[in-house]
Amino acid sequence: MKELNELIFSEELRYTEDHEWVTAAGATLRVGISDYAQDQLGDIVYVELPEVGKTFARGDEFGTLESVKAVSELYLPISGEIVAVNQVLGDAPELINQDPYANWIVEIKPADTGELERLLTADGYRQLLRG
């Protein structure tokens, strides 16, 4: 596993305490997992994706990641409707390990963009990880 100073934290993203990230993609938001999360999980071998059109509240489980170490739930950082899933991950889940920020998991149409303010900045996320 990497040391904290070896991990990548993009200043452009917002993070959750559950290690998901969010970024704007036009009128929608893309969601993925942080470099820390993929590092802790190890080799990701399967991604369970939700159905497009399904609506979730903030904090709802929307999928899972299976790695050689464990199965980890994914929680939606912001309430909204799933408008796209990254189908490439179905055949190549290991892409998340290669670049967790380029390989988003779902795209959502947010119900309330004000919920973004509740998420952590990169600095706030680093502080959380330092404990």
In a 3-state reduction of DSSP, which class is residue 57?
coil
Confidence (pLDDT) at 1? 87
Range 52-62 average pLDDT = 98
Number of domains in the chain: 1
The CATH number assigned to the domain holding 100 equals: 2.40.50.100
Confidence (pLDDT) at 94? 97
Tell the residue number behind the tokens 């919920």, with chain if given: 115
23 occurs within a structural domain: yes
79 occurs within a structural domain: yes
Among 79, 87, 62, smallest CA distance to 115 is for 79
Among 36, 45, 80, smallest CA distance to 64 is for 45
8 occurs within a structural domain: no
pLDDT in tens, 8-34: 999 999 999 999 999 998 999 999 999
Range 48-67 average pLDDT = 97
33 occurs within a structural domain: yes
10 occurs within a structural domain: no
CA distances (Å), origin 75, targets 2, 19, 60, 121, 131: 24, 9, 5, 18, 21
pTM of structure: 0.95
57 occurs within a structural domain: yes
pLDDT in tens, 90-113: 999 999 999 999 999 999 999 999
6 occurs within a structural domain: no
